[in-house]
Amino acid sequence: MARFTRLMLIGAFAALAIPAAAPAQNSSGQAEAQAAPVIPPPPAGMGQVVFYRSSRMGFAISCRVHENGQVVNRLPPGKYFIHSTTPGAHAYSVRSEATDVIRVEVEEGETQYVRCAIGMGIGVGRPNLSPQSREDFDRRGRGLDLMPPFVAGSDD
């Protein structure tokens, strides 16, 4: 048994510890050199929420944002989208083996930022929506591409 344990310890060479939401990198590692996308102000009388997913972690896990049971848009790694909406309280959710909900208060003329990151679940990765600042978007949003509007019936 001791030999078995020793073998296990010797064999354990790992430890690739990475943040759950490491910044996106393109193939040439140029992501750091790029600036975060410029976010235009919301339309008159509206507010907006910028959803972004900067990490390649859990690239196979869907981060499809819903509100009131309807898909707002999907969010593959390295993408962002701008959701213009009416001022007031809104609840957005993402689902895998569990549902994560974030409640935000959108105010007229204001932009809120929400990041999707993939945490660990029991069976599969678990997407999580978290409130963020403009500074976080500027830092992690380098090299993100705009996600086109969601079309019902499209695949992840």
Binding positions for other proteins, rule: CB under 8 A: 7-9, 11-21, 57, 89, 100, 102-105, 107, 110, 112-113, 115, 117, 119-121, 126, 128, 130-133
The residue (of 67 and 110) whose beta carbon lies closer to other proteins is 110
Is residue 142 within 8 Å of residue 35, measured between CB atoms?
yes
Q: Is 36 exposed, middle or buried (0-12, 13-18, 19+ CB in 10 A)?
A: buried
**Comparison of 53 and 126: residue with beta carbon closer to other proteins:** 126
Q: Which is nearer to other proteins, 8 or 152 (CB)?
A: 8
Sheet with 79-85, side-by-side order of all strands: 125-132, 111-120, 47-53, 79-85, 145-146
| Residue nearer to other proteins on the CB measure, 5 or 28 | 5
Minimum CB distance to other proteins, residue 99 (Å)? 12
Q: How far is the CB of 152 from other proteins (least distance, A)?
A: 28
19 C-beta neighbours (distance < 10 Å), count = 9
Residue 148: partners with Cβ closer than 8 Å, 6 or more residues away: none
**Helix, strand or coil for residue 51?**
strand
* Min separation Cβ 49 and other proteins, Å: 10
Quote the least distance from Cβ 148 to other proteins, whole Å. 26
